[in-house]
Amino acid sequence: MSGREVFSRIAGRYDRLNRMLSLGRDDDWRRQAIAFLPPGRVLDLGAGTGAANPDLGDREIVALDPSSQMLALNPSTRRVVGKGERLPFSDGWFDGVFSAYVVRNLDSIPETLGEIARVLRPGGVAAIVDLGRPPAAWKRVLHRMGTAVVLPLAGATIGAVGEYRYLHRSLDSLPPPEEIYADGPLRLARVWRMGPMGFVYGVVLEKAPGTGHKEA
């Protein structure tokens, strides 16, 4: 089962279960990253149902997601069905890019980071929040044991056991963020950990001033 299929199947229940699994902290984790974004036009990459909209404030939001089922529940006025690996926007069109809980489900992280760099204006900022295993080895073992039990049980409460087994496995699919973003087209400006045992991370990526151009 692909990530797109997972989220399409649980679109109407996704935010409710996220809130439960994060003990109500998911909004706070998003806000910590959004605080680094500039004002102006922001791409919410993997916007889903629009959970980040209130925290993005008065920025001009363009919501993009590969799942039309998720986007149908998003109240944004500008909604685009699409993938991070091929963004349907002009070069330099965004002041900022935000993405939460999406990176580990991408088909290609390098292609998506290249596209983010392309659509950002010079001096633009990308802020990303996602999940992974904790950095310490003993914490990774405990966390893996916990999610193997907790995520399928949580999925059972909304009839999505298989989908949340997929989410458990996805946590082991990538190296730590310090490696994922180190040599990409954008400068890695900041990395921090959040949540129990540090299994949530935030990163800030910056596009150098004077690179590329902005199109209307």
> In 3-state terms, what secondary structure has residue 6?
helix
Place of tokens 């706070």: 28
Q: Is residue 211 part of a domain?
A: no
pLDDT at 122: 97
**Residue 187 pLDDT level (bands cut at 50, 70, 90):** very high
- Whichever domain contains 198, its CATH number is 3.40.50.150
pTM summary value: 0.81
- pLDDT tens per residue, range 106-144: 899 999 999 999 999 999 999 999 988 878 676 766 766
- pLDDT tens per residue, range 188-208: 999 999 987 788 999 999 999
Q: Is residue 10 part of a domain?
A: no
> In 3-state terms, what secondary structure has residue 184?
coil
Q: Mean pLDDT throughout 79-101?
A: 97
Task: Assess contact for 201 and 184: CB atoms under 8 A.
Answer: no
Q: Is residue 167 part of a domain?
A: no
Task: Assess contact for 60 and 40: CB atoms under 8 A.
Answer: yes
Q: Is residue 156 part of a domain?
A: no
pLDDT at 21: 57
Q: Is residue 145 part of a domain?
A: no
Domain count of the chain?
A: 1
Q: Is residue 39 part of a domain?
A: yes
For residues 11 and 209, which has the higher predicted lDDT (pLDDT)?
Answer: 209
pLDDT at 109: 95
CA neighbor of 112 nearest in space, from 126, 95, 124, 131: 126
Q: Is residue 56 part of a domain?
A: yes
State which residues form the domain around 69. Answer: 23-133+173-206
Q: Give, in order, the Cα–Cα distances in Å from 86 to each of 108, 118, 123.
A: 10, 11, 21
Q: Mean pLDDT throughout 77-104?
A: 96
CA neighbor of 133 nearest in space, from 152, 147, 123: 147
pLDDT at 92: 98
pLDDT at 56: 98
- Taking CA 196 as the corner, what is the angle to CA 191 and CA 198, rounded to the nearest 5 degrees? 25
φ/ψ of 117, rounded to 5, equals -60, -40
DSSP conformation class of 83 = B
Q: Is residue 8 part of a domain?
A: no
